[in-house]
Amino acid sequence: MQAKILDVTVKNPLCSRYPPPVSYQKFFLRCLYDCVERFGSECSDDLAKAYTDILLLQDSENSGYHSYKIDEKCTVTLQENSCFVAKSTTGLQTWEAAKYLSEWCIRNKSHFENKTILELGSGIGLLGIIILKFCNPKKYIFSDKSEEVLKLLSSNIKINFKNHVNTFVEQRQLMWADISDEEAEVISPDVILGTGTSGLSYQTLESHQKAIFIYDEFSTLMLYKIYR
Ligand SMILES: C[S@@+](CC[C@H](N)C(=O)[O-])C[C@H]1O[C@@H](n2cnc3c(N)ncnc32)[C@H](O)[C@@H]1O
Protein backbone atom coordinates (compact mmCIF):
# COMPACT_ATOMS: atom_id res chain seq x y z
CA MET A 1 0.00 0.00 0.00
CA GLN A 2 2.81 2.43 0.91
CA ALA A 3 4.50 1.75 -2.43
CA LYS A 4 1.23 2.40 -4.28
CA ILE A 5 0.71 5.73 -2.52
CA LEU A 6 4.30 6.81 -3.22
CA ASP A 7 3.94 5.81 -6.89
CA VAL A 8 0.96 8.11 -7.45
CA THR A 9 2.36 11.00 -5.39
CA VAL A 10 6.07 11.55 -4.70
CA LYS A 11 7.22 9.26 -7.53
CA ASN A 12 4.57 10.40 -10.01
CA PRO A 13 6.40 11.76 -13.10
CA LEU A 14 4.43 15.04 -13.02
CA CYS A 15 5.32 15.53 -9.37
CA SER A 16 9.00 14.74 -10.02
CA ARG A 17 9.14 17.19 -12.91
CA TYR A 18 7.07 19.91 -11.25
CA PRO A 19 7.45 19.39 -7.48
CA PRO A 20 4.90 20.95 -5.10
CA PRO A 21 6.21 23.40 -2.45
CA VAL A 22 8.71 21.78 -0.07
CA SER A 23 6.50 22.69 2.93
CA TYR A 24 3.59 20.81 1.33
CA GLN A 25 5.74 17.75 0.58
CA LYS A 26 6.96 17.72 4.20
CA PHE A 27 3.37 17.98 5.46
CA PHE A 28 2.14 15.22 3.14
CA LEU A 29 4.94 12.78 4.00
CA ARG A 30 4.59 13.51 7.74
CA CYS A 31 0.87 12.67 7.51
CA LEU A 32 1.63 9.47 5.60
CA TYR A 33 4.30 8.52 8.13
CA ASP A 34 1.86 9.13 11.04
CA CYS A 35 -0.82 7.13 9.30
CA VAL A 36 1.46 4.12 8.84
CA GLU A 37 2.45 4.27 12.52
CA ARG A 38 -1.16 4.60 13.66
CA PHE A 39 -2.03 1.38 11.84
CA GLY A 40 0.88 -0.37 13.61
CA SER A 41 2.71 -1.05 10.34
CA GLU A 42 6.38 -0.64 9.67
CA CYS A 43 7.47 2.29 7.53
CA SER A 44 8.92 1.14 4.18
CA ASP A 45 12.50 2.02 3.20
CA ASP A 46 11.16 4.11 0.31
CA LEU A 47 8.89 6.17 2.54
CA ALA A 48 11.66 6.67 5.11
CA LYS A 49 14.04 7.81 2.36
CA ALA A 50 11.48 10.17 0.77
CA TYR A 51 10.76 11.73 4.17
CA THR A 52 14.39 12.16 5.22
CA ASP A 53 15.31 13.54 1.77
CA ILE A 54 12.60 16.19 1.99
CA LEU A 55 13.50 17.12 5.56
CA LEU A 56 16.95 18.10 4.33
CA LEU A 57 15.50 20.61 1.84
CA GLN A 58 14.97 24.29 2.66
CA ASP A 59 11.79 26.06 1.52
CA SER A 60 13.62 29.33 0.99
CA GLU A 61 11.61 30.65 -1.99
CA ASN A 62 8.13 29.66 -0.72
CA SER A 63 7.57 28.56 -4.25
CA GLY A 64 6.55 25.33 -5.94
CA TYR A 65 4.28 23.86 -8.59
CA HIS A 66 0.55 23.24 -8.20
CA SER A 67 -1.02 20.77 -10.61
CA TYR A 68 -4.79 21.04 -11.09
CA LYS A 69 -6.43 17.97 -12.60
CA ILE A 70 -9.33 19.37 -14.63
CA ASP A 71 -10.49 16.10 -16.21
CA GLU A 72 -9.01 12.78 -17.35
CA LYS A 73 -7.19 14.44 -20.27
CA CYS A 74 -6.19 17.81 -18.87
CA THR A 75 -3.99 18.87 -15.96
CA VAL A 76 -2.89 22.49 -15.58
CA THR A 77 0.45 23.01 -13.81
CA LEU A 78 1.37 26.42 -12.40
CA GLN A 79 4.37 27.67 -10.48
CA GLU A 80 2.97 29.56 -7.49
CA ASN A 81 4.12 31.27 -4.34
CA SER A 82 2.77 29.96 -1.03
CA CYS A 83 2.56 33.45 0.49
CA PHE A 84 -0.60 35.50 0.28
CA VAL A 85 1.51 38.59 -0.46
CA ALA A 86 4.99 38.18 -1.95
CA LYS A 87 7.25 40.58 -3.86
CA SER A 88 4.67 43.36 -3.19
CA THR A 89 1.82 41.61 -4.99
CA THR A 90 -1.11 39.32 -4.24
CA GLY A 91 -0.88 37.85 -7.73
CA LEU A 92 1.76 35.12 -7.34
CA GLN A 93 -0.72 32.50 -6.20
CA THR A 94 -4.06 31.33 -7.63
CA TRP A 95 -7.10 32.71 -5.84
CA GLU A 96 -10.23 30.67 -5.15
CA ALA A 97 -12.17 33.09 -7.36
CA ALA A 98 -10.06 32.09 -10.37
CA LYS A 99 -10.90 28.42 -9.81
CA TYR A 100 -14.58 29.26 -9.44
CA LEU A 101 -14.78 31.34 -12.61
CA SER A 102 -12.72 28.70 -14.50
CA GLU A 103 -15.38 26.11 -13.69
CA TRP A 104 -18.10 28.46 -14.87
CA CYS A 105 -16.24 29.09 -18.13
CA ILE A 106 -15.77 25.36 -18.85
CA ARG A 107 -19.53 24.96 -18.50
CA ASN A 108 -20.36 28.09 -20.51
CA LYS A 109 -17.94 27.83 -23.44
CA SER A 110 -20.21 29.56 -25.93
CA HIS A 111 -19.48 32.96 -24.34
CA PHE A 112 -15.82 32.64 -25.35
CA GLU A 113 -15.72 30.67 -28.60
CA ASN A 114 -14.12 32.73 -31.36
CA LYS A 115 -14.04 35.84 -29.12
CA THR A 116 -11.29 38.29 -28.23
CA ILE A 117 -10.92 38.14 -24.45
CA LEU A 118 -9.14 40.59 -22.17
CA GLU A 119 -8.37 39.41 -18.64
CA LEU A 120 -7.67 42.13 -16.04
CA GLY A 121 -5.34 41.40 -13.12
CA SER A 122 -4.83 37.93 -14.52
CA GLY A 123 -2.23 36.85 -11.98
CA ILE A 124 -0.33 33.70 -12.88
CA GLY A 125 -2.79 32.36 -15.41
CA LEU A 126 -5.19 29.60 -14.28
CA LEU A 127 -8.32 31.18 -15.77
CA GLY A 128 -6.77 32.11 -19.11
CA ILE A 129 -4.99 28.79 -19.55
CA ILE A 130 -8.26 26.93 -18.91
CA ILE A 131 -10.18 29.14 -21.34
CA LEU A 132 -7.46 28.58 -23.97
CA LYS A 133 -7.62 24.81 -23.44
CA PHE A 134 -11.41 24.44 -23.24
CA CYS A 135 -13.20 27.38 -24.86
CA ASN A 136 -11.49 28.00 -28.20
CA PRO A 137 -11.26 31.84 -28.14
CA LYS A 138 -9.97 33.82 -31.13
CA LYS A 139 -7.50 35.83 -29.05
CA TYR A 140 -6.64 35.94 -25.33
CA ILE A 141 -4.96 38.93 -23.70
CA PHE A 142 -3.61 38.34 -20.20
CA SER A 143 -2.92 41.60 -18.35
CA ASP A 144 -1.60 42.60 -14.96
CA LYS A 145 0.10 45.62 -13.45
CA SER A 146 2.92 43.65 -11.82
CA GLU A 147 6.12 42.75 -13.68
CA GLU A 148 6.83 39.90 -11.24
CA VAL A 149 3.38 38.43 -11.96
CA LEU A 150 3.81 38.76 -15.73
CA LYS A 151 7.19 36.99 -15.55
CA LEU A 152 5.70 34.01 -13.73
CA LEU A 153 2.62 34.05 -15.98
CA SER A 154 4.84 33.80 -19.03
CA SER A 155 6.66 30.75 -17.70
CA ASN A 156 3.34 29.12 -16.67
CA ILE A 157 1.99 29.58 -20.21
CA LYS A 158 5.12 27.84 -21.54
CA ILE A 159 4.73 24.93 -19.10
CA ASN A 160 1.16 24.31 -20.20
CA PHE A 161 1.48 24.79 -23.93
CA LYS A 162 5.04 23.55 -24.48
CA ASN A 163 5.72 26.74 -26.49
CA HIS A 164 2.77 26.06 -28.77
CA VAL A 165 -0.69 27.67 -28.45
CA ASN A 166 -3.25 27.54 -31.27
CA THR A 167 -4.96 30.78 -30.29
CA PHE A 168 -3.27 34.19 -30.54
CA VAL A 169 -2.05 34.95 -27.00
CA GLU A 170 -0.76 38.26 -25.67
CA GLN A 171 0.54 39.41 -22.29
CA ARG A 172 0.34 43.10 -21.42
CA GLN A 173 1.30 45.23 -18.49
CA LEU A 174 -1.98 47.10 -17.88
CA MET A 175 -3.46 49.05 -14.95
CA TRP A 176 -7.18 48.34 -15.15
CA ALA A 177 -8.22 51.90 -14.18
CA ASP A 178 -5.84 53.55 -16.63
CA ILE A 179 -6.67 51.94 -19.95
CA SER A 180 -6.87 54.75 -22.49
CA ASP A 181 -9.58 54.93 -25.15
CA GLU A 182 -6.88 54.34 -27.81
CA GLU A 183 -5.60 51.26 -25.99
CA ALA A 184 -9.17 49.96 -25.56
CA GLU A 185 -9.75 50.47 -29.27
CA VAL A 186 -6.59 48.54 -30.21
CA ILE A 187 -7.47 45.66 -27.87
CA SER A 188 -11.18 45.84 -28.73
CA PRO A 189 -12.24 42.89 -26.55
CA ASP A 190 -15.55 41.07 -26.95
CA VAL A 191 -15.30 39.84 -23.36
CA ILE A 192 -13.52 41.30 -20.30
CA LEU A 193 -12.81 39.00 -17.36
CA GLY A 194 -11.25 39.44 -13.92
CA THR A 195 -11.07 37.55 -10.62
CA GLY A 196 -9.85 38.88 -7.29
CA THR A 197 -10.13 42.38 -8.74
CA SER A 198 -11.69 45.32 -6.93
CA GLY A 199 -12.89 48.84 -7.61
CA LEU A 200 -14.81 47.90 -10.77
CA SER A 201 -18.59 48.32 -11.24
CA TYR A 202 -20.46 45.01 -11.21
CA GLN A 203 -23.73 43.11 -11.18
CA THR A 204 -24.09 39.84 -9.21
CA LEU A 205 -24.70 36.63 -11.22
CA GLU A 206 -26.15 33.31 -10.10
CA SER A 207 -23.71 30.75 -8.63
CA HIS A 208 -22.92 27.40 -10.22
CA GLN A 209 -22.26 24.07 -8.52
CA LYS A 210 -18.63 23.72 -7.37
CA ALA A 211 -17.30 20.37 -8.57
CA ILE A 212 -13.81 20.42 -10.07
CA PHE A 213 -11.53 22.07 -7.49
CA ILE A 214 -11.18 21.65 -3.73
CA TYR A 215 -12.29 24.89 -2.11
CA ASP A 216 -11.75 26.40 1.29
CA GLU A 217 -15.02 25.43 2.99
CA PHE A 218 -15.34 28.87 4.61
CA SER A 219 -14.92 30.96 1.46
CA THR A 220 -17.96 32.64 -0.02
CA LEU A 221 -17.55 33.10 -3.74
CA MET A 222 -19.70 35.25 -6.00
CA LEU A 223 -19.76 35.78 -9.76
CA TYR A 224 -20.06 39.40 -10.91
CA LYS A 225 -20.73 40.85 -14.31
CA ILE A 226 -18.37 43.81 -14.73
CA TYR A 227 -19.57 46.94 -16.55
CA ARG A 228 -18.33 50.46 -17.12
C1 LIG B 1 -5.97 39.09 -5.84
S2 LIG B 1 -4.87 38.90 -7.17
C3 LIG B 1 -5.86 37.90 -8.26
C4 LIG B 1 -5.04 37.20 -9.31
C5 LIG B 1 -5.86 36.28 -10.23
N6 LIG B 1 -6.84 37.02 -10.97
C7 LIG B 1 -6.53 35.18 -9.43
O8 LIG B 1 -7.74 35.26 -9.18
O9 LIG B 1 -5.85 34.21 -9.05
C10 LIG B 1 -5.03 40.53 -7.96
C11 LIG B 1 -4.17 40.70 -9.19
O12 LIG B 1 -4.48 41.97 -9.76
C13 LIG B 1 -3.30 42.69 -10.02
N14 LIG B 1 -3.65 44.11 -9.85
C15 LIG B 1 -3.87 44.79 -8.69
N16 LIG B 1 -4.20 46.07 -8.94
C17 LIG B 1 -4.21 46.21 -10.29
C18 LIG B 1 -4.48 47.29 -11.19
N19 LIG B 1 -4.82 48.48 -10.73
N20 LIG B 1 -4.39 47.07 -12.51
C21 LIG B 1 -4.05 45.83 -13.00
N22 LIG B 1 -3.77 44.77 -12.20
C23 LIG B 1 -3.85 44.95 -10.87
C24 LIG B 1 -2.27 42.17 -9.03
O25 LIG B 1 -0.95 42.35 -9.52
C26 LIG B 1 -2.67 40.72 -8.92
O27 LIG B 1 -2.01 39.92 -9.87
Digit-coded pLDDT (tens) for 32-73 = 999 999 988 899 999 999 999 999 988 767 889 999 999 999
Distance 75 CA to ligand 1 centre (A): 24
Nearest-CA residue for atom 26 of ligand 1: 91
Tell me the pTM.
0.87
Whether residue 86 has pLDDT greater than 90 = no
Quote the pLDDT of residue 141: 97
Q: At what angle do helices 126-134 and 147-161 cross, to 10 degrees?
A: 30
Quote the pLDDT of residue 205: 81
Instruction: Convert the pLDDT of each residue in 159-206 to its tens digit.
Output: 999 867 777 999 999 998 888 888 888 999 999 999 988 777 777 888
Give yes or no for a contact between 110 and 127, defined as CB atoms under 8 angstroms apart.
no
Quote the pLDDT of residue 71: 95
- Give, for ligand 1, the residue of 145, 171, 226 to mutate: max count of ligand atoms closer than 8 Å to Cβ: 145
Give yes or no for a contact between 176 and 201, defined as CB atoms under 8 angstroms apart.
no
Whether residue 79 has pLDDT greater than 80 = yes
Ligand 1 pocket, 196 CB below 6 A?
yes
Quote the pLDDT of residue 59: 75
State the Cα–Cα distance between residues 201 and 42, nearest whole angstrom: 59
Section 144-158 average pLDDT: 96
Average pLDDT, the chain: 91
